[in-house]
Amino acid sequence: MEADTNKDKELKEIAPILASIPKEVPFTVPANYFDNLSDIISKNVIATELSAIPKENPFAVPANYLDELPEMIALNIAATQLEGIPKENPFSVPANYFERLNSEIQDKVIASKRKEGFDWVGLLLKPKFSLSLITVALALVIIFKFSTNHNINNDKFAFSMKEVVNSGELNDIDESTIIETLSANNKPNSIPKQGEIEKYLLDNNVDESQITGQL
């Protein structure tokens, strides 16, 4: 107390204005600041202790786990989304499809086995091949027929003179013409006399066309 009184005296002597001002601290603090200050300081201290601990990760993961993790997450998300979609089959088939399917498969199996030997039937069924074959066959037929007709026409020549003679056509042909024709064909020795023309033509197989050509 005495010391305080001395201090006040000393202050009044050297600084009277200062000594007259109330010794108050003019600052304030937020409400409950000091009530919470101890807790705040303790938390700070704990945080400081934690920060002093080396930040090493004591945990390990399987090899490539982190590299594959994004993909696994994406798959899981996709699976979750798929779960929300009803499992319905949106496709349909023609009527009695499955009933017929078995027999169709069997047929195809058999058909495939045929292909192992030469498939003549299949070949014949091909339009191009069959068309070519038909064309060749027709050509052969035409050639054959043509050659047959030619022989028949030669025989006609053999009978035609007889027919000419029998039909009396010779009567229409001038005898001098017939004789000239025969002479031109170098048959002088046997030039028939008139009246013997018919017999001569028949006996000597004279080509009718030589005579008829003069008409």
Partner 1 sequence: MAAEDYSDKELLEKFRNPETQHYAFNLLVKQYSKRIYWHVRKIVIDHDDANDVVQNTFVKIWKNLGEFREDSQLFTWIYRIATNEALSFLKQKKTKFMIPFGDVEYELSNNLTADTHFNGDHIQLKLQRAVLTLPEKQRLVFNMKYYDDLKYEEIAEILKLTVGGLKASYHHAVKKIEKYLLEH
Residues that bind partner 1 in the complex, under the rule CB under 8 A: 11, 14-18, 21, 23-30, 33-34, 37-38, 40-42, 44-45, 48
- Cβ 27 to partner 1, closest distance in Å? 6
- Cβ 5 to partner 1, closest distance in Å? 14
CA 186, CA 45: separation in Å to the nearest integer?
A: 157
Q: Which CB atom, from 12 or from 100, has the smaller least distance to partner 1?
A: 12
Count of CA atoms in the C-beta half-sphere (13 A) of 59: 3
- Cβ 41 to partner 1, closest distance in Å? 5
Q: Which CB atom, from 37 or from 131, has the smaller least distance to partner 1?
A: 37
- Cβ 34 to partner 1, closest distance in Å? 5
Residue 208 · residue 161 · CB < 8 Å: yes
- Cβ 32 to partner 1, closest distance in Å? 13
Burial degree of 19 (CB within 10 A; 0-12, 13-18, 19+)? middle
Q: Which CB atom, from 4 or from 116, has the smaller least distance to partner 1?
A: 4
Residue 105 · residue 112 · CB < 8 Å: no
DSSP string computed for 100-132: HHHHHHHHHHHHHHHTTS--HHHHHHSHHHHHH
Q: Which CB atom, from 24 or from 116, has the smaller least distance to partner 1?
A: 24
Q: Which CB atom, from 3 or from 152, has the smaller least distance to partner 1?
A: 3
